[in-house]
A and B are shown apart, each in its own frame.
Chain A
Amino acid sequence: MISGLPPGLILIAGAVAIPFVGPTIRKGLVLALPVLTLALIWGTGIDAGTVWSAPFMGYAVSPVRYAPTGMLFATVFSIMAFGGALFALRSARPSEMAAAFLYAGSAIGVVFAGDLITLFVFWEIMAIGSTMVVWNGSSDAARRAGLRYALIHFFGGIVLMIGLIGHIEATGSITFDVMQADAWPRWLILAGFLINAGAWPLSSWIPDAYPEASPAGMVFLSAFTTKTAVFVLLVGFPGTQALIYVGLFMIFYGIIYALLENDMRRILAYSIVNQVGFMVVGIGIGTEMALNGAAAHAFAHIIYKGLLLMSAGSVLYMTGKRKCSDLGGLFQSMPITATCGIIGALAISAFPLTSGFISKSMINQSAADQHMMVVWLLLTAASAGVFLHAGIKFPWFVFFQKDSGLRPPDPPWNMRAAMIFFAALCLLIGVFPQPLYALLPAPVAFVPYTGAHVVGQLQLLLFSGLAFFLLLPLMKRTLTVSLDVDWLYRRAAPAVIAWIARDLRELSDGVLGGTRAQVGSIIDSMAHYHGPAGLLARTLPTGRTVFWVLVILAAFLVFNFS
């Protein structure tokens, strides 16, 4: 019977319970439930390939499908829920923790979905949960950003739903499996998936909404939405060539915008787009190694990006500041936060001995194996760019550069423990990659630690570091934001609507005003002639009436006599 229980429901049930229990039980609950979820994924002895189905509205839905890729993603989602809960243990309000667990549970629901209906239901619950996490940022900016976030995601949901209906109508099948982007329903499904992945042109919701969440909220947000999108692309559209170009655009978009950005958490948000871009390219290349690389990179990314956002969140929590121009020199009083942030930065940069090195290399290598020289050269340049925009820029401007004079201590024990746990995972996965490789969907023949690979990567990264310090004057922080596609719906669309509304008002005023005047003039003229004092309403004297009656009668007689 337990095989029929979707593992995601454990966290969703937790989300329902969290607001109704006391603080002590709540703390125990949020740490225990992710572990219980992991136990349900791995500890029940259920083999990959097991599917549990039930009839629903004439279809056989499969809310539970044990498959290697889904189990890999559910594992890292559970680890993330645990680490995020530990980090948020003392700072998050019950409503925020509940929203985060609803969000995490529904993400696990998506990766265990064996059919498109189940997938869609959990997909939409995820949108609701994540919007609530943004709103728990509790500022006016968070409220507005959350609304924009919700609009984008519900728009994406509609696109996906139309595609799914078209696909199910055409094929009669609701099974979630490999699809070909060969007709409009599948194009819409692909578009719906890509919206959640943060693909351009709808990328800006990530740097717009995520940094407005609370310090702990953004840790959760960084993990689930974009990575479930990677999961569904991995299962649904492997080898779709267009994804290579979509992914490359995301990669360089993320680098350039992060280089221009001043807000430390927005830098990391742009960097999510950049990193998901690598995964999307891997899915587009579509070979076994590339798909393994995309899956491994998603796993590694969730942990090191969570770590980076814990580090940035700790700084925000302790200083109340998030702009690089206000920060600097914090390594002196926040050594644990700085060290963990640097480990996260090295991991995202794919430094040898960190998790990024053993995952991203597979994607780059698969491009080389397929003789895609331009793609490989771009991915290599992008690897250098990652070190530039996140690997050095984030720790340098937050923990070093100038002395801001701020001397906050490291954050409370639970936040430090969460950071140390994730930093240890980044290093352990980097040094001992085999356990992660064993979880990947296909057997791994890749050997990351060869002399040539290590030396080549060290050259690339260290000379990128040199470029950073040589070009530092060009990267002086400014109090600016960068215009993005969201300008269209944040500025242009409201301006157009205001303009149309103003013209409509003038038009309506004109029409209504004219009618009123015309109606008024008709009424006035009627009143003039027919009103009490009107000419035609005057009561004529009887004598004159008799006279006129006589005239008429006389005329009648004269005409009739003749």
Chain B
Amino acid sequence: MEKHWLVRPKTIRLLWIVMLGVLAVTVLLQLGIEIHGEFHIDETFGFGAWYGLGTCAVMVIGAKILGAVIKRKDTYYD
């Protein structure tokens, strides 16, 4: 059976390119928009970008570490 067009490797590669392009645009848009933050950190260039990427990495890795301690087989309570 032929794969759905959305999951073909060619489409996925194209989606990555489009996604990276959109990411770059969201950061570059900030060049034309003045940000008035309440704190200094939120006025840094691309704050949403680096802060989102960084905090997500921390959350995923934190969850992974915690998971090593608290994960049990899903039949644990049966």
Contact = CB atoms under 8 A, between A and B. Distances in A.
Interface of A: 252, 255-256, 259-260, 262-263, 323, 329, 331-332, 368-369, 371, 373, 376-377, 380-381, 384-385, 388, 400, 403, 451-452, 455-468, 471, 474-475, 478-484, 490-491
A297 B23 CA distance: 27
A457 B72 contact: no
Contacts of B51: 380-381, 384, 460
Contact of A376 (B38, B59, B61, B63): B38
A394 to B, nearest CB: 16
26 contacts: A255-B59, A255-B63, A260-B63, A260-B66, A260-B67, A260-B71, A368-B37, A368-B38, A373-B39, A381-B51, A381-B59, A384-B52, A388-B56, A388-B59, A400-B7, A456-B35, A458-B26, A460-B49, A462-B52, A463-B53, A463-B56, A464-B53, A464-B56, A465-B19, A467-B57, A471-B56
Interface of A is mostly: helix
Interface in B17-63: 19, 22-23, 26-27, 29-30, 33-39, 41-42, 46-53, 55-63
A466 B48 CA distance: 13
B60 A259 contact: yes
Contacts of A323: 74
Contact of B53 (A255, A263, A455, A467): A467
A377 B26 CA distance: 20
B74 to A, nearest CB: 5
B49 to A, nearest CB: 4
Query: Chain B interface residue count: which class?
Result: 35 or more
A259 B19 CA distance: 23
Contacts of B73: 479-481
A482 B74 CA distance: 8
A273 to B, nearest CB: 15
A457 B42 CA distance: 12
Nearest to A458: B26
B48 A457 contact: yes
B14 interface: no
A479 B57 contact: no
Given A331-B6, A368-B42, A455-B30, 20 more contacts: A256-B63, A369-B38, A376-B38, A381-B55, A384-B59, A385-B56, A388-B59, A452-B34, A458-B48, A459-B26, A459-B48, A460-B48, A460-B51, A462-B22, A463-B56, A465-B19, A478-B71, A479-B73, A481-B74, A491-B77
